[in-house]
Structure 1
Amino acid sequence: MNEHEIVSSGLLESYVLGITSQEETTQVEKLLSTHPEYQSQVDDIRESLESFAWQHAIEPPVAVREKVLGSIQELAAGKVIPMTRSSLHNLTNQRPGLSVTKTLVSSRNWVAAAAVIMVLSVVGNIFLFKELKASEDMVATLESNNTQLAKNLEVNKASFMQARQEIAVLQNPGTKMMKLQGEPIAPTAFAMLYWNDAKRETYMANVQLPSAPTGKQYQIWAIVDGKPVDAGLFDQATSMQKVKSINGASAYAISLEPEGGSPQAGPTGQVYLKGSLN
């Protein structure tokens, strides 16, 4: 592996963290001996990792901290060595060639590596928590959608049953039909009235009227002995609507009234549709 491959592969970072194999360690140290200019890069990596680790480190309880540091010292020196002035002097005398500074730096590297691993673990847990939260939100959304679908199904079922009843009335031999024609104000307006005297049911269907302006609403009138009788308000959102059954009606009309219906006993607005039973 040449120098560019060593640098680009992240081997220097692994070397600083102390997680390289023996072969990789030899390659890095050979690179540093033959190309001293890379030593500054290694130092920068070490400082960056240590700075990141110490900035994100969490102060552990005293007992845990002492136990961890003791284990780190064992890993670095091969045994636990009290870090007093005399012990440092004895350590250098007992192990000639051993650099106490290097040992302490190595120990510090282990602390930094442990802190980095801890930070990565926290980040991983945060990511997993977010994924879990997203999954829970998705489940909640699906449950809400299922609930809404069930409600829509019930509404559609009720509408279907109502439509079947209305069709049954229209197909009944006793049901009669009347056509309402548009007045000059709306010559293309159109509607059909169906009624069944035996069942006392009346329906307005196939209504084609201009959209009612804001604050206005169409009202249906039954004409009995020449006088208008309220037969209900017309809902333009429906294709077929059941209206009041009025005995003795000889004609029907639809007028445009204030929203909620005419305040009087007859139309106050313009009549748009008229139809006679005769």
Structure 2
Amino acid sequence: MEAQEYIESGILELYVYGLLTETENLEIAEMAKKNPEVEQEILEIERAIIALSSSFSPFHSVANFEKIKARLELKHGKVVDMKPASNWSQYVGWAAAVLMLLGLGYQTLELTKTKEAIATVGNEKNKIQREFAYLDQQNKETEKNLTIVRDIKNTGVTLGGQTVSPTSFAKVYWNKDTKTTYIDAAGLPKPTKGMVYQVWSLKLSPVLTPTSIGLLDNFEENDQKIFAVDQTDSAEAFGITLEPAGGSATPTWNNYIL
């Protein structure tokens, strides 16, 4: 094969990239020694690759880049940008364009993945913070309720179910000194729609006298079913009835739960 045929065949580019067999490499090396045009073309290809790799180094083999650069500097001193041969310039231009598009596409994909990962981490963090806040609130409520139950100054009054709801039960915690009153309504069923539990303090003599001391509002939202009601100055007993929403002035006796 003649020198010009080597130059136009594209085999010199493969030689520079190290893609030929050992036999082919030896053949090209011998041809370059004998023919200055082939040697010059190889140098021009190497210079073009150096220029291209300098602009698109993230996409070019670091080993090839350093190898070619060292080879050029060894032969010719510091490598500077050179105009490639005319038949190589078009190839370089298309290669640069393709590499640029690939690079931009890759970077866009990685940026999208990063944003998605950040968004996922942010959502998980917010979820954990919400769960922690909820658990912290529940813990505080539990501690408060345990304090009520364990307070030896609180008188515990157990209320058993009446005919209308014989399996129901509740407990009243009444502090006679501070007058504070709490109802443990864990044994009460969910009230029917439009109805609410109403708590009464009762005086039994000389006649039965009920006094409303509060409603068990937001029954479903109260997970632990411990309710604070109005202070009670004096009581001989307690009762709970099921009343229309908003409560009643007097108990509905046929709805007497406890």
Verify: 1:197 aligned to 2:176, yes or no: yes
Give the TM-score of the pair, scaled to structure 1: 0.55
Structure 1 residue 208 and structure 2 residue 208: aligned?
no
Match of 1:178 in 2: 157
Deviation of the 1:242 alpha carbon: 2.7
Aligned to 1:188: 167
**What residue in structure 2 maps to residue 152 of structure 1?**
134
Residue 196 of structure 1 contacts residue 202 of structure 1 at CA under 8 Å; is this kept in 2? yes
2:41 matched residue in structure 1: none
Please tell me whether residue 240 in structure 1 is matched to residue 226 in structure 2. Answer: yes
- 1:183, CA displacement in angstroms? 1.9
Q: Percent identity between the aligned chains?
A: 25
Deviation at 1:268, TM superposition (A): 4.2
What SS class does the counterpart of residue 233 from structure 2 fall into? coil
1:76 aligned onto 2:60 = no
Contact 1:180/1:273 (8 A) holds in 2: no
Quick check: 2:164–2:257 contact (8 Å CA) kept in 1? no
The root-mean-square deviation of aligned C-alpha atoms, in Å, is 3.3
Q: Residue type matched to 2:199 in 1?
A: I
1:229 aligns with 2:208: no
What do residues 227-261 of structure 1 show as CA deviations (whole Å, max 9, x unaligned)?
32111112353333232232332232211122232
CA distance in 2, matches of 1:247, 1:22: 99
CA distance in 2, matches of 1:22, 1:143: 51
Q: Does 1:127 align with 2:109?
A: yes
Between the aligned partners of 1:144 and 1:246, the Cα distance in structure 2 is: 43
Q: 1:258 to 1:244 in 2, by over 3 A?
A: same
Q: In the alignment, which residue of structure 2 is the partner of 1:21? A: 18
Give the unaligned 5+ runs of structure 2: 1-9, 25-80
Q: SS in structure 1 opposite 2:257?
A: strand
- Give the conservation status (yes or no) of the 8 Å contact 1:228–1:266: yes
Q: 1:167 to 1:185 in 2, by over 3 A?
A: closer
Contact kept? 1:218, 1:254, Cα under 8 Å: yes
Asked if 2 retains the 8 angstrom alpha-carbon contact of 1:256 and 1:269, the reply is: no
* Cα-to-partner distance string for 1:117-136 (whole Å, 9 max, x where unaligned): 01101011102211321232
The residue matched to 1:221 in structure 2 has which SS?
strand
Q: Is the 8 A contact 2:199 2:239 kept in 1?
A: yes
In 2, Cα distance between equivalents of 1:239 and 1:175: 18
Q: Counterpart of 1:255 in structure 2: which amino acid?
A: T
Q: Which amino acid aligns with 2:85?
A: A
Count matched residues. 184
- Assess if the C-alpha contact under 8 Å between 2:156 and 2:171 holds in 1: yes
Superimposed CA distance per residue, residues 193-252 of structure 1 (whole angstroms, 9 cap, x where no aligned partner): 232312323222254222112222111112235232111112353333232232332232
Task: Measure the CA separation in 2 of the matches of 1:126 and 1:164.
Answer: 56
Q: Measure, in 2, the Cα distance between the counterparts of 1:133 and 1:185.
A: 60
Confirm or deny: 8 A CA contact 1:254 1:273 kept in the other structure. yes
Question: What is the CA–CA distance in structure 2 between the aligned matches of 1:213 and 1:206, rounded to whole Å?
Answer: 15
1:218 counterpart = 2:197: yes
